[in-house]
Amino acid sequence: MKPRLVAGAAAFLATFSLLPGPELRAQGSGSNPPAQPSASPSANSTQPPLSPKDLQVERAKIYMATKRYEQAIEAYQQLARSEPRNAQYPNMIGIAYLNLTNLSQAQKYFERAVKVDKKYFSALNNLGMVWYEQRNYRRAIREYQRAVVIAPGEASVYANLGYAYYHSKKDVEAGDAFRKALQLDPHVFEHTGGGVGSLVQDRTVADHGHFFFIMAREYAQLGDAEHCAEYLRKSADEGYKDVVKAKTDPAFAKVVNDPAIQDFFLRISPGAPKTASAPPGA
């Protein structure tokens, strides 16, 4: 189990390939770690020197970005001791522990962040991820629901909620949550990015064919024929036999006559020539 980060509360995943196993986000990339911040400005800089606290914050961010989670924990703990009413610090400690797969410690610090700030939706979301990683989807749903009440404009949290519903075999609720996420951010499943974020996201699913069909249906209801066809193809490639139901399912009514959808139906018709599938996430 390798939890993953999202770059800020508004960003989401690096790709939407949904291959087994989660991935890390908001960790930065490249083989060389960033340079340590300097307290002295350069000769040509007009910026004032960083304060000791700002230096410590930057150092903690660098540790997170370069996946040095033990050092990040120590740095954020020092910050938390100096500012015990700042919920961001225990939240980041929790994320570091989550990346170390230490779920009990992660839960402890996310709960501490929520205790400091009951409206800190990132910590509530991340607490939901602790339960999600333990496959306790009922409790994960509860935390995600608390988060979306506080932050109804956050597409990422709705997507998390959708995944928890999906694993609970609540397809209708999952679809509603995914559709809301797409309405808030049509590209929520396509974002790439870096940086050190405060919100965690996982997208591991078991039955890819069924899941892709659900996503195709949600895109259809939004009138997005292009993405609908893409996920119908992915569903068919995964061997989902009920993909033909898209022809008669009322949820596909907005796009069923679109050329992209009709082309898909032709491709899966008996006797249709087989074509090589694009790699997942392409």
Question: What pLDDT was estimated at residue 140?
Answer: 97
pLDDT attached to residue 152: 96
Burial environment of residue 184 by CB neighbours within 10 A (0 to 12, 13 to 18, 19 or more): middle
Residue 26 scores a pLDDT above 50: no
Share the mean pLDDT of the chain: 81
In the chain, what are the domains?
5-33+49-174+187-200 (1.25.40.10), 208-268 (no CATH)
Q: How confident is the model at residue 191 (pLDDT cuts 50, 70, 90)?
A: low
**Res. 274: pLDDT tops 60:** no
The mean per-residue pLDDT over the stretch 32-47 comes to 50
Q: What pLDDT, on the 0 to 100 scale, is given for residue 194?
A: 42
pLDDT at 15 over 60: no
Q: So what's the pLDDT on residue 100?
A: 96
Above pLDDT 90, what percent of the chain?
A: 67
Q: What is the Cα–Cα distance from 110 to 95, expressed in whole angstroms?
A: 8
Is the CB of residue 217 less than 8 Å from the CB of residue 252? yes
Q: By three-state DSSP, how is residue 5 classified?
A: strand
